[in-house]
């Protein structure tokens, strides 16, 4: 599993494909977008923030807050908690900004802090009952992905919508959830996630695959539950008519 | 390839184009086809979830307050950073109202300093003992007379008048123009400088002759003090004028004379005001 408290050892230099709010996979690194009225580079803003310039703090906040807030929101599924966590993450970041030396990307540093803050909160609240180590072992008999014995052969294609998926994401164990949100929702590459989570690239890939597999199960359960409720309501209607 | 091996490939390679062996297995295994289709659908649906969300403004407000409370942020950029900003970006700062006001105040201070440093050369005999010490040995009487004026009879006259209830506001003012400065020390005076001294003497004489002979300040002692000061001034002026006749190029005597004229003008003004208030 990824150790979210370990020290980042990866230096990220490439550009990251990020997705805008419209969902299109376009654009470069968030730090390279001149979205703010102050025409600073991120490096200059960091240097100014290290000297205590409040405008630079706001610049950095405006530059990264949308992605950090979205990450918190997907992780906890609650806007109030997401705001609280984001503020805590930025507060920790700005307290330590004087120690930032640029060995890693600033956004990676920020996201690592955010993930740490979120996971710490989730551990305290003990929301999930699943272990962070939870994995899905392949079915030994079939040597394939785990199947529900006796369950109808459900295919999710066409049945996966955003609402169902977000609900299922909230049920994921935090470790899986973090990697899935960072990769499939926010568009980070595995080497970046490894930097954020403090784990190996292979571990990040493994976590993502297990998260997808677990999501498939959760969605199948949801579809079965919906089908069960529909059958129950149909029987009820038939009985009342008879 | 078996189902387990395909899943290992999916785990490490993701949904990117699969190797030929995996594709062959996928084409033959319905379960793996379903699995691949489902996780592909999940990945596609995940991309419909916004990667960015606008947080409420209150988060920054709260965060900023916390940062300020902890002393992490301050409003102004530090000087060392300002120095790193290209100079052409600082030009616009020059035309901000606050900057213009500061520059204007600075100019006024400089002009005031220049005026003050030049003007006291005329009054040095009255106010600065060090300038009196700089007098040459050829001018002992003048320096003594200047010292006798040091207690500032001009200032004492209005004060005495005020003690007797006279208004200190000068309704009538005898003015003497300042000494032209174009003539340097120990050089021959310019015609305008000589004309100035003559004009001052004439104005003062006319004013003095117009003084009423009666009591001025309404108080015998104050009146006597004013007239005594006037006599001292007249004696000093007469001595300066005599010396200037002997040596017209004596710049220092000319400055003493100018100062004496100004003091006499002040004194006459005070005396006339005192007389007017009483009558």
Domain encompassing residue A106: 30-131+161-241
Question: How many helices (DSSP H) and strands (DSSP E) are in chain A?
Answer: 8, 0
Verify whether the Cβ–Cβ distance B73 to A166 is below 8 Å.
no
Verify whether the Cβ–Cβ distance A90 to B63 is below 8 Å.
yes
Burial per residue of A167-201, b for 16 or more beta-carbon CB atoms within 10 angstroms, e otherwise: ebbbbbbbbbbbbbbbbbbbbbbbbbbbbbbbbeb
Tell me how close the Cα of A101 comes to any Cα of chain B, in angstroms: 17
pLDDT of chain A, 242 residues: tens digit per residue:
444 333 233 333 333 333 333 333 333 333 334 344 567 889 999 999 998 888 999 999 999 999 999 999 999 988 999 999 999 999 999 999 999 888 778 999 999 999 999 999 988 876 444 444 443 333 333 344 444 434 444 566 566 778 888 889 999 999 999 999 999 999 999 999 999 998 999 999 999 999 999 999 998 888 888 888 888 888 887 777 65
Per-residue confidence at B255, pLDDT binned at 50, 70, 90? Answer: confident
Contacting residues of B for A55, CB less than 8 Å apart: 77
Contacting residues of A for B37, CB less than 8 Å apart: 155-157
Tell me how close the Cα of B24 comes to any Cα of chain A, in angstroms: 16
Per-residue confidence at B225, pLDDT binned at 50, 70, 90? Answer: confident
Q: Which of B42, B45, B81 is opposite residue A51, by nearest beta carbon?
A: B81
**Best interface-test mutation with B: which of A67, A212, A213 has the largest number of B CBs within 10 A?**
A212
Contacting residues of A for B16, CB less than 8 Å apart: none
Express each pLDDT in B142-189 by its tens digit. 444 444 444 444 444 444 444 444 433 344 455 555 555 544 444 556
Nearest CA in chain B to A57: B73
What is the distance between the alpha carbons of residues B251 and B235, in angstroms, rounded to a whole number?
A: 19
HSE, side-chain direction, 13 A CA sphere, residue A136: 28
ipTM value: 0.71
Tell me how close the Cα of A169 comes to any Cα of chain B, in angstroms: 10
Verify whether the Cβ–Cβ distance B12 to A205 is below 8 Å.
yes
Contacting residues of A for B49, CB less than 8 Å apart: 23, 74, 162, 165-166, 185
- Residue ranges covered by each domain of chain B: 3-46, 130-278
Q: What is the CATH number of the domain that holds A183?
A: 1.10.1740.10
Pair A8, A112: CB distance under 8 Å: yes
Contacting residues of A for B76, CB less than 8 Å apart: 53
Per-residue confidence at B7, pLDDT binned at 50, 70, 90? Answer: confident
pLDDT at A81: 93
User: Among residues 71-130 of chain B, which lie with CB inside 8 Å of chain A?
Assistant: 72-78, 80-81
What is the distance between the alpha carbons of residues A82 and A76, in angstroms, rounded to a whole number?
A: 7
Report the number of distinct structural domains present in chain A: 1
Residue B235 clears pLDDT 80, i.e. is over it: yes
Residue B76 clears pLDDT 70, i.e. is over it: no
pLDDT at B243: 85
pLDDT at A118: 93
Q: Which of A138, A187, A216 is opposite residue B38, by nearest beta carbon?
A: A216
pLDDT at B52: 92
Per-residue confidence at B266, pLDDT binned at 50, 70, 90? Answer: confident
Pair A183, A172: CB distance under 8 Å: no
Residue A148 lies inside a defined structural domain of this protein:
no
What is the distance between the alpha carbons of residues B55 and B60, in angstroms, rounded to a whole number?
A: 9
Verify whether the Cβ–Cβ distance A53 to B74 is below 8 Å.
yes
């Amino acid at each position: 599993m990824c150790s979210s408290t370990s020290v980042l050892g990866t230096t990220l230099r490439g550009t990251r494909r990020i997705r805008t709010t419209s969902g299109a996979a376009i654009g470069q690194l968030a730090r390279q977008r001149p979205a703010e009225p102050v025409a600073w580079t991120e490096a200059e803003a960091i240097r100014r923030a290290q000297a205590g310039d409040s405008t630079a703090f706001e610049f950095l906040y405006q530059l990264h807050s949308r992605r950090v807030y979205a990450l918190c929101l997907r992780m906890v599924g609650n806007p109030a908690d997401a705001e609280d966590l984001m503020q805590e993450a930025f507060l920790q970041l700005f307290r330590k900004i004087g120690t930032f030396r640029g060995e890693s990307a600033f956004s990676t540093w920020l996201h690592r802090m955010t993930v740490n803050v979120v996971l710490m909160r989730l551990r305290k609240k003990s929301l999930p009952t699943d272990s962070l180590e939870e994995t899905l072992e392949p079915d030994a008999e079939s040597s394939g992905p785990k199947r529900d014995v006796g369950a109808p052969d459900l295919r999710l294609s066409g049945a996966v919508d955003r609402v169902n998926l977000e609900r299922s994401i909230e049920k994921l164990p935090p470790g899986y959830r973090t990697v899935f949100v960072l990769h499939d929702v926010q568009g980070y590459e595995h080497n970046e996630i490894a930097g954020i989570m403090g784990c190996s690239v292979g571990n990040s890939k493994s976590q993502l695959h297990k998260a997808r597999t677990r999501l498939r199960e959760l969605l199948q359960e949801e579809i079965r539950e919906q089908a069960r409720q529909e059958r129950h309501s149909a029987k009820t209607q038939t009985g009342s008519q008879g | 390839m078996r189902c387990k091996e395909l899943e290992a490939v999916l785990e490490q390679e993701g949904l990117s184009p699969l190797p030929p062996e995996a594709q062959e297995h996928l084409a033959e295994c319905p379960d793996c086809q379903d699995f691949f289709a489902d996780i592909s659908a999940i990945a596609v649906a995940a991309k419909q979830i916004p990667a960015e969300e606008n947080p409420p403004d209150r988060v920054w407000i709260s965060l900023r307050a916390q940062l300020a409370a902890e002393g992490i942020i301050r409003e102004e950029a530090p000087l060392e950073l300002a120095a790193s900003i290209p100079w052409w970006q600082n030009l616009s700062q020059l035309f901000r109202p606050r900057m213009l006001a500061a520059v204007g105040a600075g100019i006024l201070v400089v002009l005031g300093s220049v005026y003050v440093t030049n003007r006291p050369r005329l009054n040095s005999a009255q106010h600065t003992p060090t300038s009196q010490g700089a007098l040459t040995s050829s001018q002992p009487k003048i320096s003594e007379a200047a010292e006798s004026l040091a207690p500032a009879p001009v200032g004492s006259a209005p004060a005495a008048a005020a003690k007797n209830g006279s208004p200190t506001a000068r309704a009538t003012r005898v003015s003497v123009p300042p000494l032209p400065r174009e003539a340097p020390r120990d050089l021959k005076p310019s015609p305008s400088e000589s004309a100035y001294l003559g004009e001052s003497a004439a104005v003062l004489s006319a004013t003095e002759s117009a003084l009423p002979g009666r009591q001025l300040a309404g108080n015998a002692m104050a009146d006597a003090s004013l007239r005594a000061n006037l006599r001292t001034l007249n004696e000093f002026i007469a001595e300066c004028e005599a010396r200037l006749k002997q040596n017209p190029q004596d710049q220092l005597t000319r400055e003493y004379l100018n100062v004496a004229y100004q003091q006499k003008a002040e004194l006459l003004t005070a005396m006339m005001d005192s007389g007017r208030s009483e009558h």
